[in-house]
Structure 1
Amino acid sequence: MTTPYALTVDAGLRDLRAADHLLRTLAAELALPEGAFGCTHLIRGDRPRVAVSFTVASPALRDPAREWLTAKGYEVTDGVPDDTGRAVLYPGADALTGTLTVAELLSRSAIDRVTVLGAPGEPEGSARLVTRDHVRPQWQGGELVLIAQPAIGGTLVPFEVPEPTPCCADH
């Protein structure tokens, strides 16, 4: 993540869907600008959970957000819990809908590169990616990377599915 102006909110959430919802709700209530990043982070240890973080361009944006979140009763800390967050909000995220080429995805968003599970190197820029309107890249080594997988018809899809089946859903 490119700036030091970050906050983490730990609301004790247990799943990514709830964290995505909280992240979007808080970002809207805070009226974060287009250039902000919002990520989820898996917190391991005695109390596994999902925290959310916001990274903005200046302390003039971060500090009032910290005050507002604290006043709302959230546990807020400066910085991010790790450097491998899963990006939900990022520049260009809303433009990643439908089917795009890899080159279009990269040019429309803050995503730095795309990798394909089980494939060496990166896909061609002309490769088609069916976004399913759910594109969640992850920070890896300071780059925002989308992990994709092969799909029907020679297309690619993001590895993370929009509506995952909960564990033990059939029990």
Structure 2
Amino acid sequence: MQTLDTETTDKTHYLYPGGLFSSAEPHRVTTVLGSCISVCLWDAETRIGGINHYLLPLWNGEGLATPRYGNIAITRLIEKLLLLGCARKSLRAKVFGGASMLENTRGLLAVGERNISLAMSTLAEQRIPVISNDVGGFVGRKIIFDTATGAVLLRRNRGILMPSRTAAEP
């Protein structure tokens, strides 16, 4: 990945799960990911960026449509950046997270894989190129996104693989 220029900004923000962040002012945004995904979007022309942190791929239509869900989080992040003056054709994406935090997860339990698939397909549909990604695997990640430069600092956490339980186990 790239190094962060500490001269760019002294403004920082911690992004909690289910949130998104965008600002015309430069910030360094930190978040920690397991099976969750963060999509970092950046416009090189305006030097404006934004990031989300979603937990599940799809909102089922019940309750509030929050950025806890990938299909909501990515769309809202794009909308916020367009309102800040970014051009859709100038947006570039970096995608992180989607780890499998349990052994032998498949189907609906493979949340990380489903989150990755949703991010990649949604960005492709929106015609936003993914220029970098670090997804999947069995380790969590901590990222720091510089909204002014588009740079991302990545640290992979030690693998803490949780054994899955079978129906016969207590």
Report the TM-score, using the length of structure 1 for normalisation: 0.29
